[in-house]
Amino acid sequence: MAKQIMFTGVRQVQVVDVEPALPLKENEVLVRAMYTGISTGTERTIYRGTTPFYNKKFDESLHLFLKSEDCSYKYPLLYGYENIGTVAEVGAGVTKYRVGDIVGSYYPHISEYVCPEEALFLLPEGLEPKYGVFMALAGVAYNGILDAEILLGETVVIYGAGVVGQILVQLAKKSGAGQVIMVDLCEHRLELAKKSGADLVMNPAKIEDVALEIRSLTENRGADVVIEASGSVAALQSAIRTVGFQGRVIVVSFLAGKADALYLGDEFHHNRIRLISSQASGVNPGLYPRWTPERKFKAALAMLPSLKLDHLISHEFTFEQAAEAYRLCDESPDQTMQVIFRV
């Protein structure tokens, strides 16, 4: 019998028993989980009930959210970002994996599950298994870097020192950025950003105007690229002010709620700013067809062992502590970075 974490209502989580779908069919694999990771940004909206998928349906053919009684998400809901485990059994026709292989998947928080062979991936050689839970968020950051198109020596400002923001710091440095600056309201996260390689950190609560401060560091140009990774509308507004004339603002975060504080008639209009959504399911159209989602995934996975990740794990829980884990993510977001379930 396997254990699975289930969202049963707003701010309600249960651990339930489920029976894996055995015996295996052709091309199926049985995986026993070792670690699963919470995406504190996305899963916080699932836990709080603020994701638009709860009251709207996303029409794949129209690419629109539409009001519908048949919403995309309904309780009880199974969710999860990263699941790292070992292959326990393989079905007929499986050629890529053997019993004992350490694999990853984007399956929900579950201790044992059956899935198609093509839904799995091998962890890079030398990567400690628990760091595999960073794969999905590393992919989000990698996508943001492809969209940012950073040139050698450019000044890059990142808003939001969560897990994605911390990885963005490292990737921006690898991409040749001359100066990487992290902006966040949480001093603890800013200290982590220094460990991630940020050249400078700024707390907007302690600076009169971030946009003016950045211009003082860039001969009045402003940042070449600003990446918004906090999910805050106020941060996006500041990002638009901070980037220079004809600069690029890349939004990798999910901006939940109404954007009442967003003004587009000032710097956005007069500075000809490019505002780009970097939702991770696609890829920069300017790079296609050389870059595809498949190539991006493989590149992000291969890069994972080169990242500094240990300082980004803030908490580890068991499945039995799921309610406590999600309550912590909800009530103390500044103190939660990568939260891991040990299975």
Q: How confident is the model at residue 47 (pLDDT cuts 50, 70, 90)?
A: very high
Instruction: Please answer whether residues 17 and 1 qualify as being in contact, where contact means their C-beta atoms are separated by less than 8 angstroms.
Output: yes
The confidence score (pLDDT) of residue 256 equals: 72
Residue type, 120: L
Which pLDDT belongs to residue 264? 87
- Please say whether the beta carbons of 154 and 222 come within 8 A: no
DSSP 187-249: HHHHHHHHHHT-SEEE-GGGSS-HHHHHHHHTTT--EEEEEE-S--HHHHHHHHHHEEEEEEE
Res 68 pLDDT > 90 = no
Question: What Cα–Cα distance (Å) separates residue 318 from each residue in 111, 228, 307, 325?
Answer: 11, 32, 25, 9
pLDDT value at residue 5? 97
pLDDT at 106: 94
Give the per-residue pLDDT at 255. 84
Q: What is the pLDDT of residue 167?
A: 98
Domains and CATH numbers, the chain: 2-122+309-342 (3.90.180.10), 140-277 (3.40.50.720)
Q: Is the pLDDT of residue 266 over 80?
A: yes
Q: Does the pLDDT value for residue 237 go beyond 80?
A: yes
Q: Which of 61-70, 102-111, 149-158, 207-216 has the lowest mean pLDDT?
A: 61-70
Mean pLDDT of 119-144: 96
Q: Give the chain's mean pLDDT.
A: 95
d(CA 213, CA 210): 5
- Residue 257: pLDDT band with limits 50, 70, 90: low
Q: Each residue of 135-159: pLDDT tens digit?
A: 999 999 999 999 999 999 999 999 9
Q: Are 262 and 269 in contact (CB under 8 A)?
A: no
278-303 pLDDT, tens per residue? Answer: 998 899 999 999 999 999 999 999 99
Rounded to two decimals, the pTM is: 0.96
